[in-house]
Amino acid sequence: MSEPRYKILVADDDEMIRTLHAEFIRGFGYEVETASDGIEAIAKVGLGVDLILTDAHMPNLDGFEVARRIRETRSSEELPIVMATSLEAREDRLRAYEAGINDFINKPVDHTELRLRLKWLLELKTTQDELRKNKAHLETTVEQRTRELRVALEEVTRAQREIQSAHLDTIRRLTLAAEYKDHDTAGHIERIGRYSEVVGTEMHLQPGIVDLLLHATPMHDVGKLGIPDSILLKPGPLDDEERSIMNTHTTIGGQILSGSESPVIQMGERVALTHHEKWNGTGYPNGLRGEEIPIEARICSVVDFYDALTMDRPYRKAMQPDVVVQMILDETGTSFDPSVVDIFIRARPQIEAIQAEYVGS
């Protein structure tokens, strides 16, 4: 790889010194531009020079002002400035650094010292130019990769949403299969989920739990898929043996939904198994008591009781909401969790608004 061809600007009002310095620099293998004062020096920076060798004292603009003006647009890494000067005072040196001078060389300029100073500063500039170029390339690459990653993430998000939607749709269809067998409706299972969502929100459960309630509580009766039609669809009261078989829909539902890694189905399993447990421990299948019963099942038992009795069934007409609410209150502390009932009563306007959306469902 060939050495870069550098261009040096020599600025000095003394023609003899300017010529001497220019001859030195050409001898080092560099191109040279010259300027006889500060104004010309500022103008010739636009020629693309790589370094400036300037005198301190020049007419119009001195070397200090030349450096200051250049530094307003160019950093010291982009364009090194060397001052050739006979100034020795500390104040002058400090002023030069503040103006943006990178280095000094004393007059009269020593040929060897000048060559070494220029070589070092130009090599440093080359390295810094490469670093800037690499940084710009890296930034461009990062921006491109970020755009590509963003597109990929959007695609993954879209795919995950589609998978989640399909997952929830499958759950809903499974639930519908159980409910249709029992002559219930799609509206019933959707209402159970939405009622549970309202109650969970009013109880200040975590948003993720509330979302699970919406999709999991409708699975409470999925175990009815395993109940014989002769019992499930019997128009009259069940005898003891038939009631015992009917009660197994809780354990059947738990078995159908067991072993899943899906949080929705895991909650659905708990609801299916325990939604007939009672607050006082007299429920089935395991006689759980109080907070031994999962909160999702305690919520489901209240909203399911309400919705089941306020909707028409083949063997009876719907009951009035006020009557059903009073029945829930009468069973508070016996069948139902008092804290859930309290929230349910408070949320009753929202519950009834949802129910009104499903008129005829």
CATH code, 53: 3.40.50.2300
The highest-confidence range among 163-177, 199-213, 304-318, by mean pLDDT, is: 199-213
Q: Which two tokens stand for residue 288?
A: 């759980």
246: in domain:
yes
Q: State whether 217 and 345 are in the same domain.
A: yes
| 27-36, 100-109, 248-257, 291-300: segment of lowest average pLDDT | 100-109
Q: Tokens 């010291």 map to which residue?
A: 76
The partner residues of 7 in beta bridges, in order of sequence, read: 31
Residue, of 83 and 158, whose pLDDT is higher: 83
Res. 261: pLDDT tops 70: yes
Q: State whether 349 and 202 are in the same domain.
A: yes
Summarize pLDDT for 170-185 with one digit per residue, the tens. Answer: 676 667 666 666 555 5
Q: Which two tokens stand for residue 235?
A: 């128009």
pLDDT of residue 181: 61
Write down the mean pLDDT value for the chain.
86
Q: Is 224 a catalytic residue?
A: yes
Domain span holding position 201: 182-357
Q: State whether 255 and 110 are in the same domain.
A: no
Q: State whether 86 and 203 are in the same domain.
A: no
**CB distance 351 to 195 below 8 Å:** yes
User: Average pLDDT in the 210-226 region?
Assistant: 90
Q: State whether 245 and 323 are in the same domain.
A: yes
Q: How many Cα atoms within 13 Å fall on the side-chain side of residue 166?
A: 6
Instruction: Label residue 3 by pLDDT band (50, 70, 90).
Output: low
Summarize pLDDT for 334-352 with one digit per residue, the tens. Answer: 999 999 999 999 999 999 9
CATH number for the domain that contains residue 273: 1.10.3210.10
How many domains does the structure of the chain reveal? 2
Q: Which two tokens stand for residue 234?
A: 């019997």
Q: State whether 224 and 293 are in the same domain.
A: yes
| 59-68, 125-134, 281-290: segment of lowest average pLDDT | 125-134
The highest-confidence range among 43-57, 134-148, 186-200, 324-338, by mean pLDDT, is: 324-338
From the list 108, 111, 112, the residue with the least C-alpha distance to 16 is: 108
Cα(130)–Cα(124) distance, rounded to whole angstroms?
A: 10
235: in domain:
yes
Q: For the chain, how far is it from start to end, CA to CA, in angstroms? A: 81
pLDDT of residue 100: 87
State percent of the chain over pLDDT 90: 47
> From the centroid of its chain, how far is CA 190?
31
The partner residues of 316 in beta bridges, in order of sequence, read: 313
pLDDT of residue 76: 55
Collect contacts of 243-250 with beta carbons under 8 A, ≥24 apart. 247/276, 247/284, 247/285, 248/223, 248/285, 249/221, 249/223, 249/224, 250/223, 250/274, 250/275, 250/276, 250/284, 250/285
Annotated catalytic residue, options 44, 125, 224, 278: 224
pLDDT of residue 5: 81
Q: State whether 97 and 195 are in the same domain.
A: no
Q: State whether 190 and 62 are in the same domain.
A: no
Cα(274)–Cα(266) distance, rounded to whole angstroms?
A: 13
175: in domain:
no
Res. 330: pLDDT tops 70: yes
R_g of the chain, CA atoms, integer Å: 43
Res. 98: pLDDT tops 90: no
pLDDT of residue 94: 83
Residue, of 134 and 195, whose pLDDT is higher: 195
pLDDT of residue 248: 95
Q: State whether 117 and 187 are in the same domain.
A: no
pLDDT of residue 139: 81
Backbone angles phi, psi at 342, to 5 degrees: -60, -45
Backbone angles phi, psi at 10, to 5 degrees: -105, 120
Among 133, 149, 173, identify where a domain stops. Answer: 133
Res. 196: pLDDT tops 60: yes
170: in domain:
no
Instruction: Label residue 2 by pLDDT band (50, 70, 90).
Output: very low
The partner residues of 225 in beta bridges, in order of sequence, read: none
SS3 labels along the chain: CCCCCCEEEEECCCHHHHHHHHHHHHHCCCEEEEECCHHHHHHHHHHCCCEEEEECCCCCCCHHHHHHHHHCCCCCCCCCEEEEECCCCHHHHHHHHHHCCCEEEECCCCHHHHHHHHHHHHHHHHHHHHHHHHHHHHHHHHHHHHHHHHHHHHHHHHHHHHHHHHHHHHHHHHHHHHHHHCCCCHHHHHHHHHHHHHHHHHCCCCHHHHHHHHHHHHHCCHHHHHCCHHHHCCCCCCCHHHHHHHHCHHHHHHHHHCCCCCHHHHHHHHHHHHCCCCCCCCCCCCCCCHHHCCHHHHHHHHHHHHHHHCCCECCECCCCHHHHHHHHHHCECCCECHHHHHHHHHCHHHHHHHHHHCCCC
104: in domain:
yes
Q: Tokens 């293998």 map to which residue?
A: 29
Pairing verdict, β 103-106 and 7-11: unpaired
165: in domain:
no
State percent of the chain over pLDDT 70: 89
167: in domain:
no
Cα(11)–Cα(319) distance, rounded to whole angstroms?
A: 103
| 58-67, 155-164, 226-235: segment of lowest average pLDDT | 155-164
51: in domain:
yes
Q: State whether 80 and 219 are in the same domain.
A: no
Res. 156: pLDDT tops 60: yes
Q: State whether 218 and 110 are in the same domain.
A: no
Q: State whether 122 and 229 are in the same domain.
A: no
Cα(27)–Cα(111) distance, rounded to whole angstroms?
A: 10
